[in-house]
Amino acid sequence: MKQKRWRCTVCGEIFEGDAPPAPCPVCGAGADAFVAEAAPAAQRWKCTVCGEIFEGDAPPAPCPVCGAGADAFVAEAAPAAQRWKCTVCGEIFEGDAPPAPCPVCGAGADAFVAEKEAPGGVLGGSDSRFVIVGGGGAGLAAAKAIREVDRTAKVTLVCGEGVIPYNRPGLSRLVAEGAGFESVALEPYDWYGGQQIELVCDARVERIDPQRREALLSDGRALPYTALLLAAGANAFCPVKAGPGAPPVRVLRSFADAAALLEDVRPGVSAVVVGGGILGLEAAMALHRRGAKVRVVELAQRILSIQADAFVSGRIEQALRALGMEVDTGVSVSAVEADGAHLSDGRVLPAEVVLVSAGIRSELGLAQALGLALGRGICVDASMRTSLPGIYAAGDCAEFEGRVAGLWGAALEMGRTAGRAMCGHEAAYRPPVPATAFEAPGISLFAVGSVNGEGLQTVERRDDEAGVYRKLALRNGRLVGVLMLGRPAGGAAAIAAVERGASLQDALGLLAQQAEKA
């Protein structure tokens, strides 16, 4: 009987046995850091005489069907799995059906569309070297895109956080559930070996030499490159500072941030969340689920001022209060002192931990040293090229047409575009329509595009008894936003309608469909 395989989610090593080793012999992680690992897929062999396919470590000899010898067999690739794209976060999954809900953003099955097959690969001949600086969503998307069109180039992914790429939008869920790193890892550790993608988790890129085309690591190594991608992401913006003896002021941008927050939060702790946007509310819900007494402080006059209109913001605030949370709007945290969080209106809120969700700032250190053209981010063209030959940028560190998107879906699309362009393929980035899905007790929100602003024509449908609200927003007769509260359905259709700028007549048809599904 074959022994079970166990993978350590911290260091990635695989062990065999009836139970995982504890602690891990490599990195010392505990037994709860291990997950059961599936056995590697069996090799498939095709007989070129009769066409039959067999599985095994080696081809059967002779062929059980036609009697051909072992030299008549060729290795056969596994059949391509169906690909499903989440239209909210942009992630692509494989399987007979889309995952529901989306493991990254939580969107429902109706937010998925069947994705066309991956571009065909170049089976040999390329000796290119690609270095990707940053192991976030954009970096991993670029590595996957490279492998879809070039099977033999050397691909090195330098993960600056010391861990393999993970689902950053899933950090709030990790905090809520108290889960381990394996719950947010985007791919298992051994997947990278199977794709021949070299991971560097124990060093950072400290300097780039564009003349020699080398990335110099903190451990002294030099990585030569044909093309290099800057995908170092962004840092959390934290304008709130802790005074002497004050409770900790945290952000939730990295896995390390999530681990630190879990150390601070226990049932009954008073937690102040600074920021009432979508990420702030997701973090607030996570702390609430951990048993904390949560208070949200938002500078704007209402929460979710970007994703929702005034009516929906009010309803969501009511739902949060019904859960036992407090909400303060039109006010900011001016300081965090030993006695609590000081507000701009003079009040002092009890606080044993303060969590700030106030946006991001692009990571520009390497780009500044290179002298790249910069705005708020690294300026790129539609192929993600920077102002220096051979250097590309993607994700939260990149600025396209004067804007840093700061969205997971945009980072993925940028990464895919950069990966193909680095291989010499035609690729042009098209910014995705922003979409948000937010689920919590008493709250079911789906928002696409823009539903606020001057000069919008709006159509609303509301059923207070059913708790359902639908809103269409049009500019110059074309659909620019859809807002759904209460049993949202047809997310992919709503996104597609905004992308094509549906007419009023078509938009009204979409509204009718939503009402029927609700």
Query: 410-457: per-residue pLDDT in tens?
Result: 999 999 999 999 999 999 999 999 999 999 998 999 999 999 988 899
- Cβ atoms of 23 and 30 within 8 Å: the answer is yes
Tokens 């997950």 belong to which residue?
35
- Cβ atoms of 146 and 129 within 8 Å: the answer is no
Q: How far is CA 316 from the centre of its chain?
A: 24
Nearest Cα residue to 264 out of 275, 253, 278, 249: 249
Strands 14-16 and 5-8: antiparallel
**Per-residue pLDDT, 274:** 98
pLDDT tier at 203, thresholds 50, 70, 90:
very high
Q: Is the dihedral of CA 373, 378, 381, 383 positive or negative?
A: positive
**Per-residue pLDDT, 103:** 83
Reduce the secondary structure of 304-343 to three states and give it as a string.
CCCCCCHHHHHHHHHHHHHCCCEEEECCCEEEEECCEEEE
Nearest Cα residue to 252 out of 355, 359, 395, 396: 355
| Region 298-311 average pLDDT | 95
Strands 391-393 and 270-274: unpaired
| Residues 384-409: tens digit of each pLDDT | 999 999 999 999 999 999 999 999 99
**Per-residue pLDDT, 37:** 66
| Residues 340-362: tens digit of each pLDDT | 999 999 999 999 999 999 999 99
State percent of the chain over pLDDT 90: 66
Nearest Cα residue to 38 out of 5, 1, 2, 79: 5
Q: Give the relative orientation of helices 137-149 and 408-422 as an angle to the nearest 10 degrees.
A: 30
Q: Give yes or no for residue 487 having a pLDDT over 70.
A: yes
- Report in angstroms the alpha-carbon separations of 432 from 88, 336, 425, 448, 490: 9, 38, 21, 10, 17
- Cβ atoms of 246 and 334 within 8 Å: the answer is no
Instruction: Give the whole-angstrom CA distance, residue 370 versus residue 472.
Output: 45
Q: Give yes or no for residue 32 having a pLDDT over 80.
A: no
In DSSP notation, 210-273 reads TTTTEEEETTS-EEE-SEEEE---EEE-----B-TTPPPEE--SSHHHHHHHHHH--TT-EEEE
pLDDT tier at 26, thresholds 50, 70, 90:
low
Nearest Cα residue to 250 out of 199, 292, 306, 211: 292
**Which superfamily, per CATH, for 249-358?**
FAD/NAD(P)-binding domain (3.50.50.60)
User: Average pLDDT, whole number, for the chain?
Assistant: 89
| Residues 64-101: tens digit of each pLDDT | 877 777 777 777 655 556 888 888 888 888 888 888 78
- Cβ atoms of 225 and 217 within 8 Å: the answer is no
Model pTM greater than 0.85?
A: no
Tokens 């059923």 belong to which residue?
463
**Per-residue pLDDT, 90:** 85
CATH of region 118-233+376-422: 3.50.50.60
Nearest Cα residue to 354 out of 341, 343, 338: 341
Tell me the one-letter amino acid at 236.
Answer: A
